[in-house]
Amino acid sequence: MSENPRWLQITLVGVLPAVYGAITGWLLGISEAPYLVLSILGILGGVAAGFDHVGAKTGARRGIAAGLIFGSFILIGHEIQGGDAKADLPHPGILLVVITTVLGAGFAALGGWARARAEQKGVSHTAPEIPGPLG
């Protein structure tokens, strides 16, 4: 992640979880199913975000930031939407932020651990070069 330009780092760590959280929160007031689907897909995003880092510790730091932002923006997006929650939320609502932060740290740590393990085994995290018809 540190090799990326600062604007991309800010986008991946801050903007993406904020927008995704706001959309998820908006859908929370509309229907339970899309809210749950986006929440589950967020788990995959957390693991993938952690894979940007080598090691569980650095992955977890990324997950703490992203989980905090994601959970906060679920609540913000839901508040802007204004409807009643169609899925169960913890009470008080701020506990959702705590939960998403802890889960974000855990899933991103898993991704960072997987990246470290892949690099130890010599597995490349980039696509192999496949020659085309001209090359």
Residue 128 lies in a domain: no
> Alpha-carbon torsion 6, 53, 42, 101, what sign?
negative
pLDDT digits (tens, 9 = 90+) for 7-28: 998 999 999 999 999 999 999 9
Sequential DSSP letters for 22-81: HHHHHHHTT-HHHHHHHHHHHHHHHHHHHTTSSSHHHHHHHHHHHHHHHHHHHHHHHHHH
Residue 35 lies in a domain: yes
Structurally, how many domains does the chain consist of? 1
- Looking at per-residue pLDDT, the higher value among 124 and 4 belongs to 4
Q: How far apart are CA 38 and CA 59, in angstroms?
A: 21
Residue 132 lies in a domain: no
Q: How far apart are CA 108 and CA 58, in angstroms?
A: 9
Q: What is the pLDDT of residue 124?
A: 58
Residue 130 lies in a domain: no
Domain that holds residue 64: 6-120
Report, as an integer, the average pLDDT of 120-130.
66
Q: Examine the pLDDT at 116 and tell me if it is beyond 80.
A: yes
Residue 1 lies in a domain: no
- Looking at per-residue pLDDT, the higher value among 62 and 121 belongs to 62
Residue 13 lies in a domain: yes
Q: Examine the pLDDT at 127 and tell me if it is beyond 90.
A: no
pTM of the model: 0.85
Torsion angle defined by CA atoms of residues 15, 51, 59 and 9, in that order, rounded to the nearest 10 degrees: -30
Residue 30 lies in a domain: yes
